[in-house]
Amino acid sequence: MKTKNKKPFLNMDERNKQVAYKVIVVMYFLTIIAMQGIVIYRQFALGQEIGDFEDIAIIMTINSLFLISALLYFGAIQIRRLSIKSILLIYVVFIVLGSLFTYAKYNIFQSPGLSFEKLFDKLIIVISIIGLIMGFWILLSYLGKKRLEKEIE
């Protein structure tokens, strides 16, 4: 009986794959930028409330978190060795950025701003969530490094 040599429909060599990867990355970032543009347009041009497009913001946030997590796990972002000082500095920078974003979201872009007490409650949430995200990223980076070391052996 004669066997046929079936090639996959998209039989790509390394060069084709690299071109495809570059196109996919550019299109991914253009999509994220377009979604951010839609959020800004809906908020400022159409005057919609933040709650009207919060679903888009959630999708963008989760997508970005999963992207960074996958890049850390599969070794695309190589973190050789970070000191505790570097990790804490990154954590503080994320807290400052998250706090500024939270302040702007609730006190600049919404007409009844938050009181100091409620804003402080939001900042506690920001600090907690950023801590969880950083811990998750550190864990994935560690597990990804172990996975790569296993593959090399």
Block means of pLDDT (10 residues each) for the chain, length 153 residues?
60 84 91 88 81 83 85 78 83 90 75 77 89 88 84 82
pLDDT for 3 equals 57
DSSP state of 114: P
Burial 74-87 (b: 16+ CB within 10 A, else e): eeeeeeeeeeeeee
> Cα separation of 113 and 119, whole Å?
9
Q: How far does the chain reach from its first CA to its final CA, in angstroms?
A: 40
> Cα separation of 52 and 114, whole Å?
19
What pTM was estimated for this model as a whole? 0.64
pLDDT for 92 equals 93
- The residues, ordered by sequence, that sit 6+ positions from 69 with a Cβ below 8 Å of its Cβ are 136, 137, 140
Dmax over CA atoms of the chain, in Å, equals 80
